[in-house]
Structure 1
Amino acid sequence: MKLKLGIDTGGSYTDTVLVDWDSGQVVSKAKARTTKENLTIGIEEAIDKLGIQDRDTITLVCLSTTLATNAIVEGKGAAVGLITIDEPKEHSYPAASHFHVKGKIDVKGCEVFPLDCEGAAAALERMQGKIDALAVSGYASVRNPAYELKVKGISDAILGVPVVCAHELTKVLGYYERTVTAVLNAKLIPIIKELIAATKVVLAKKGIRATLVIIKGDGSCMTCSFAEERPIETVLSGPAASALGGILLSGCKDMIVADMGGTTLDVVPILDQSIPMDECGAAVGGWRIRIKAMRTRSFGLGGDSYLRMNHAGDLEFGPRRVVPLCAAAEKYKNLINEVERLYLPADYHIIKRQESDCIALFKRKNLERAHLTAEEKRLVELLADGAHSLLYLAEKLGKDIDGIEIESLLQREIVYLISFTPTDLLHATGEYVQYDQRISHLALAKLAARKKMPPADFAAYAEAGFVEKICISFIECLLIEKGVEEEKLSRELIRLVFNHLDATCRLFDFNCLFHAPIVGIGAPAGTWLKKAADQLGCKVIIPENSEVANAIGTVSGNIRERLEALIRFDCHSKNYIVHLPDQRRIFETLDEAVCFAERELILCGKKFGEKMGVNKYTSQLSKEQILSQSCGNSEGTFVELRLRLDISANAKYIRH
């Protein structure tokens, strides 16, 4: 029997499955807590639980992850510097440092005025020691990447950090989105490298010598080397795997796959068992990224979402993921006593934090190059013996709880936050119990007291609020699928219109009519999605093996890639310009341009196959011609020609 090993590393859990190559049947499955401080621990535990009898029967290992998606949603990742060239107007980017350099290439790929190399070098020198990676984006780089490549060469000589050029990631027009994509790709490099390295360490330790591939956001797969260069391709890897798993497990033709993990709720509407693709890019964490990916919506709502009360007394959920109090108290028993013993005076108006907030040291290796303030150094010293509540730390520091600055330590992953979550809420009510309930009861009581409500009433209030957020997310996703522009959506309006439990609206209400079931994926799905489905009046299916559906979905991915060339006619020079992924060439005749473009595309296809380590693949060349009467050129009505080379290969043909 030949087996495929599927691994899905999420923000909260790592799931594993063994699947028979021929029948597709699940042989065994397992879950383990994701150990972000050292990913190898959680991966190894999840693989050990599978009870593998013969490691040589495993011929392929498929990995999916939500770590990239979660990092974008939570605003985490490497410190990235950004160089923009001829930026048309100022924008906000997820970069730690941003400099603009002069130099212009027009939309035809022609150099209008030269790149300011001295200015680029000066900007790069100002970034020394402050960034982990660099992103470079030029306004017309999809037509001619020359200036981006020049800046990359200058950076290699000055900074010596990984450099991501925007033209390498996407050929789709849209300067702002392309720049965001480059910055986020650079931010994700250390996250995906760490995951791949951890997985390889565990596989080597277990003697599993099979090929390792990683699922992309469109459901296809790629090799590790490709993923390390383009980690942005792993964004929505987890949701893509869950969509594939939902299709396989539910057997439904039409469905709404909802994958609820610890950090996010990912919603994918599916028709005819076909995963919808967004060629222009996906929206994640408020950013639009220009990669081909599954059309989905990711919301910062999960079982481990940070549940807190703001200064106005309203409840907020996510998008930050924290470690549930009940889970942390299994390891740090002192937290129960600290949360119970310490409290705030009745007249103290807490603003930024919660009485039940706790922190613990996370990745100690990040301390090696960290420049800490005196207070941060003292906090690290106090955490040397384990996790502590912020109230305990405030007492030791002689400060109030809102005065303790931990955000920088959280962002640099030196510490992690432990607090009240929907998982704690379920523990407090007894609906779901995996860990010690005592600390969840204590934290719930403190939040209820701030709201001046009995604990039972507050629990019902919090549960209703979280379920409402889930329902609004479903409705928002389906309205966008129906064609409503995202910018025109109002969550407040959705809440008012569709919340038929509002007692103030006695004259009328609106109800959604779902024609397809919600297929629930993930550990919290059985509880929270059922509650949401009750509110929405729709059917929910929680299929067998749904808790490891992501891992099941990973093993069904194959290699797919599309390479493109564009030939445009220049009315002024009467020449034909060929734009390829890595170059730009000019020809006098269309035949010459087409022959060159076809030959180069086929060569690019071969290089891609070699990079992917594929022994056998199929390719199909297609052409799309655009005609117009406006140019009046000697060749007739030709304006442009797009050539596409679609490559596909079964994962089993990847060389180890």
Structure 2
Amino acid sequence: MKLKLGIDTGGSYTDAVLVDCDTGEVVSKAKARTTKENLTIGIEEAIDKLGINNTAGIVLVCLSTTLATNAIVEGKGAKVGLITIDEPKEYNYPVSCKSNIKGKIDVKGCEVFPLNVSEAAAALETMKDEIDTLVISGYASVRNPAYELKTKELSNGILGVPVICAHELTNVLGYYERTITAVLNAKLIPVIKELILATKEVLSVKGIKATLVIIKGDGNCMAGSFAEERPIETVLSGPAASALGGILLSGKQDLIVADMGGTTLDIVPIRNGNIPLDECGATVGGWRTRVKAMHTRSFGLGGDSYMRMNNLGAIDFGPQRVVPLCAAAEKYKNLIWEIESLHLPEDYHIIGRQEADCVALFKRHNIDRKVLTAEENQIIELLTDGAHSMLYLAGQLSKDVDGIDIARLLQMEIIYLISATPTDLLHATGEYVQYDRKISQLAMERLAARKKMAVDEFEAYAENAFTDRICVSLIESLLIEKGITEEKLSEELIRTVFSDDDERCRLIDFDCRFHAPIVGIGAPAKTWLTKAGRKLKCEVIVPQNSEVANAIGTVSGNIRETLEALIRFDCHTKKYIAHLPNRRVTFDSLDEAIGFVERELILYGKAFADKMGVKKYSSDLSKEQIVSEGYCNSESNFVELRLKMAISANAKYICH
């Protein structure tokens, strides 16, 4: 029997499945906690639970992940430096440091002002020892990348860190989105590299020699080596796999896939069995990218979302993911005692933290005591014997709990946060119990006291609030699908219109009608999406094997890639300009330009296939010409010609 091994590494759980290549049936399935401090542990545990008897029968290993998406949502990743060239205005980017330098290339690819090399070198010098990766983005680099490449050459001699040029990731105009794409790609390099290395290590130990491929955000797959260079392609990898899994498991062609994991709720409306693609670029964590990925909406709502009371006395969930108290207490039994025994004075009003907040050491290899403050080093010392509550740390440090600054330690992933979550809420009520309930019940008592409610009243309030957030997210996603822009949407308006809890005005009610079922995917889906379905009065399907649907979806991906080039006519020089992925070339005739571009695209296609490890693939060259009456090239009315080379291959043809 030939088998495919599917692995999905999420923020909370790692799922694994064995699927029969011929029948598509699930042979075995397993779940394990994602061990973010050492990913190999969780991956190995999940594979061990599959009970594989014959590793030689595994012909392909397919991997999907939400780690990239989660890292963006939570603002994590590498420290990135950014050099912009001729930036039109000041933009906001998720970078550690940034410099804009002079040098102008217009949208035709012509050099208007020379690159200021000395300014570029000086900017690079200021970034020494401050960044992990550098991004270079020029205003019109997709038309001529010369200035980006020159700055990259300078950086290699000054910084010696990995460099990403924005033109390497997309050839679409749209400076800001292209720059964001490059920055996020740089931030994600260590995240995806760690995952791939961990997966390869486990496969090697288990004697599994099959080729490893990774699902991209558009539902197709790529070789692991390619993903290490372009990790941004794995953004929405997990939701894409869950969409594929949702279609396969539900047997529906029209459906709304709602994938609820530990960190995010990802919603994908599907019609006619086709995964919708956002050709303009996916939006993740509020950042608009140029990554062609599945059209989905990601919300920071999951089983492990941080559950807390805000300064206004209302309950908040996410987007930050924390380790549930009930899960942490399985390892650190002392946390139960600390949450139960340690109290704040009655006249002390906690603001920034929660009374149930706890912390533990995470990635010890990230500790560099030279760059940490004295207090940060004290905290690390206190955590060497295991996890502790923030109230315990406050007592040991003789400080107010709100005065302890753990933000940098969390950002550097030296520690992780443990606190109340929707999973704890379900443990407290008894609706779902996997771990010891006691610490979850204690946490709900503390939160209820802050809200001045009885515990059972608070639990009902919190459950209703979380369900409301899910309902609002579903409605928002479908309104955007109908064409309503984000700017016109208001969570408060949606909540007011569709909530039946408001007694202030009973003169009018609104009902929304769903024309397709919600297909719930993920471990928390059965509980929370069923509750949301009752509120929305819509059909909810939670199919068999839904808890590992992502891993099932990974095994159905194939390789598809489109390479593009553009030929434009320059009215001033009377030349034809070919804009290729890595250069700009001029020609006297259109036929000469077309012939050159076609040959180059064939070579690019072969190089791409070689890089992906594909020896057998199909290619299709298409042309799209734009003409205009009265255009300056009066003989042909030619404006531009876009040539596309589509490469496709079955994943089974990927070689080591």
- With normalisation by structure 1, the TM-score equals 0.99
Cα distance per residue 1:130-187 (max 9 Å; x no partner): 1111111100011011111111111111111111111111112111111111110000
Secondary structure at 1:616 match in 2: coil
Structure 2 unaligned segments of length 5 or more: list them.
Answer: none
Structure 1 unaligned segments of length 5 or more: list them.
Answer: none
Q: Distance in 1 between matches of 2:234 and 2:481?
A: 23
Is the aligned partner of 1:289 residue 2:289?
yes
Match of 1:132 in 2: 132
Is the aligned partner of 1:440 residue 2:440?
yes
Q: Are 1:80 and 1:186, in contact at CA under 8 Å, matched by a contact in 2? A: yes
Cα distance per residue 1:593-630 (max 9 Å; x no partner): 11111110111000001001101000111111111123
1:471-490 pair list within 5 angstroms: 471-490=471-490
* 1:15 CA displacement: 0.2
Match of 1:557 in 2: 557
Identical aligned pairs, as a percentage?
74
Secondary structure at 1:213 match in 2: strand
Q: Are 1:60 and 1:212, in contact at CA under 8 Å, matched by a contact in 2? A: yes
Cα distance per residue 1:228-247 (max 9 Å; x no partner): 00000000000000000000
Q: Distance in 2 between matches of 1:341 and 1:380?
A: 23
Secondary structure at 2:459 match in 1: helix
Q: Distance in 2 between matches of 1:98 and 1:370?
A: 25
Q: Distance in 2 between matches of 1:161 and 1:521?
A: 40
Match of 1:315 in 2: 315
Secondary structure at 1:354 match in 2: coil
Q: Are 2:361 and 2:384, in contact at CA under 8 Å, matched by a contact in 1? A: yes
* 1:634 CA displacement: 4.3
Secondary structure at 1:493 match in 2: helix
Match of 1:424 in 2: 424
Cα distance per residue 1:407-443 (max 9 Å; x no partner): 1100000000000000000000000000000000001
Q: Distance in 1 between matches of 2:426 and 2:398?
A: 34
Q: Distance in 1 between matches of 2:122 and 2:41?
A: 43
Match of 2:219 in 1: 219
Q: Distance in 2 between matches of 1:576 and 1:438?
A: 74
Match of 1:269 in 2: 269
* 1:631 CA displacement: 2.1
Q: Distance in 2 between matches of 1:592 and 1:284?
A: 42
Is the aligned partner of 1:68 residue 2:62?
no
Secondary structure at 2:484 match in 1: coil
Q: Distance in 2 between matches of 1:253 and 1:226?
A: 32
1:24-43 pair list within 5 angstroms: 24-43=24-43
Higher mean Cα deviation, 135-144 or 628-637?
A: 628-637
Cα distance per residue 1:457-495 (max 9 Å; x no partner): 000000111011111101111011100011111111111
Match of 2:615 in 1: 615
CA RMSD of aligned residues (A): 0.8
Q: Distance in 2 between matches of 1:109 and 1:406?
A: 48
Match of 2:305 in 1: 305
Secondary structure at 1:281 match in 2: coil
Q: Are 1:363 and 1:413, in contact at CA under 8 Å, matched by a contact in 2? A: yes
Q: Distance in 1 between matches of 2:234 and 2:552?
A: 17
Match of 1:515 in 2: 515
| Letter of the structure 2 residue corresponding to residue 636 of structure 1 | S
1:209-608 pair list within 5 angstroms: 209-368=209-368, 371-608=371-608
Match of 1:87 in 2: 87
* 1:368 CA displacement: 3.8
Higher mean Cα deviation, 498-507 or 80-89?
A: 498-507
* 1:507 CA displacement: 0.4
Q: Distance in 1 between matches of 2:517 and 2:634?
A: 57
Secondary structure at 1:164 match in 2: strand
Q: Are 2:369 and 2:377, in contact at CA under 8 Å, matched by a contact in 1? A: no
* 1:369 CA displacement: 7.2
Q: Are 1:620 and 1:645, in contact at CA under 8 Å, matched by a contact in 2? A: yes
Q: Distance in 2 between matches of 1:591 and 1:350?
A: 73
Q: Distance in 2 between matches of 1:34 and 1:279?
A: 32
Q: Distance in 2 between matches of 1:638 and 1:383?
A: 69
* 1:124 CA displacement: 1.0
Q: Distance in 2 between matches of 1:157 and 1:7?
A: 40
| Letter of the structure 1 residue corresponding to residue 458 of structure 2 | F
Question: How many aligned positions are there?
Answer: 656
Cα distance per residue 1:93-116 (max 9 Å; x no partner): 000111111110000000001111
Secondary structure at 1:548 match in 2: helix
Q: Distance in 1 between matches of 2:370 and 2:69?
A: 25
Q: Distance in 2 between matches of 1:346 and 1:625?
A: 74
Q: Distance in 1 between matches of 2:461 and 2:173?
A: 46
Match of 2:46 in 1: 46
Secondary structure at 2:446 match in 1: helix
Secondary structure at 1:629 match in 2: coil
Q: Distance in 2 between matches of 1:258 and 1:350?
A: 35
Q: Distance in 1 between matches of 2:213 and 2:117?
A: 39
Secondary structure at 1:477 match in 2: helix
Q: Where has structure 1 moved over 4 Å in runs of 4 or more?
A: none
Secondary structure at 1:385 match in 2: coil
1:135-154 pair list within 5 angstroms: 135-154=135-154
Q: Distance in 2 between matches of 1:474 and 1:150?
A: 47
* 1:350 CA displacement: 1.2
Match of 1:9 in 2: 9
Match of 1:98 in 2: 98
Q: Distance in 2 between matches of 1:172 and 1:260?
A: 32
Q: Are 1:304 and 1:421, in contact at CA under 8 Å, matched by a contact in 2? A: yes
| Letter of the structure 2 residue corresponding to residue 468 of structure 1 | D
Q: Distance in 2 between matches of 1:7 and 1:435?
A: 24
* 1:276 CA displacement: 0.3
Higher mean Cα deviation, 441-450 or 115-124?
A: 115-124
Match of 1:19 in 2: 19
1:171-182 pair list within 5 angstroms: 171-182=171-182
Higher mean Cα deviation, 341-350 or 235-244?
A: 341-350
Q: Distance in 2 between matches of 1:634 and 1:26?
A: 62
Q: Are 1:467 and 1:528, in contact at CA under 8 Å, matched by a contact in 2? A: yes
Secondary structure at 1:394 match in 2: helix
Q: Distance in 2 between matches of 1:369 and 1:355?
A: 28
Match of 1:629 in 2: 629
Secondary structure at 1:552 match in 2: helix
Q: Are 1:311 and 1:350, in contact at CA under 8 Å, matched by a contact in 2? A: no
- Residue 456 and residue 416 in structure 1: after superposition, are their counterparts in 2 closer, same or farther (change >3 A)? same
Q: Are 1:80 and 1:187, in contact at CA under 8 Å, matched by a contact in 2? A: yes
Q: Are 1:144 and 1:584, in contact at CA under 8 Å, matched by a contact in 2? A: yes
* 1:267 CA displacement: 0.2
Q: Distance in 1 between matches of 2:35 and 2:635?
A: 63
Q: Distance in 2 between matches of 1:16 and 1:630?
A: 61
Q: Distance in 1 between matches of 2:432 and 2:569?
A: 65
Q: Are 1:500 and 1:511, in contact at CA under 8 Å, matched by a contact in 2? A: no
- Residue 20 and residue 369 in structure 1: after superposition, are their counterparts in 2 closer, same or farther (change >3 A)? farther
Secondary structure at 2:384 match in 1: helix
Q: Distance in 2 between matches of 1:30 and 1:601?
A: 43
Q: Are 1:256 and 1:516, in contact at CA under 8 Å, matched by a contact in 2? A: yes
Q: Distance in 1 between matches of 2:147 and 2:370?
A: 34
Cα distance per residue 1:350-400 (max 9 Å; x no partner): 111000000000000001476100000000000000000000000000000
| Letter of the structure 1 residue corresponding to residue 214 of structure 2 | I
Secondary structure at 1:112 match in 2: strand
| Letter of the structure 2 residue corresponding to residue 294 of structure 1 | M
Q: Distance in 1 between matches of 2:609 and 2:230?
A: 16
Q: Distance in 2 between matches of 1:70 and 1:20?
A: 31
Q: Are 2:427 and 2:440, in contact at CA under 8 Å, matched by a contact in 1? A: yes
Cα distance per residue 1:77-100 (max 9 Å; x no partner): 001000000000001000011111
Q: Distance in 2 between matches of 1:369 and 1:65?
A: 32
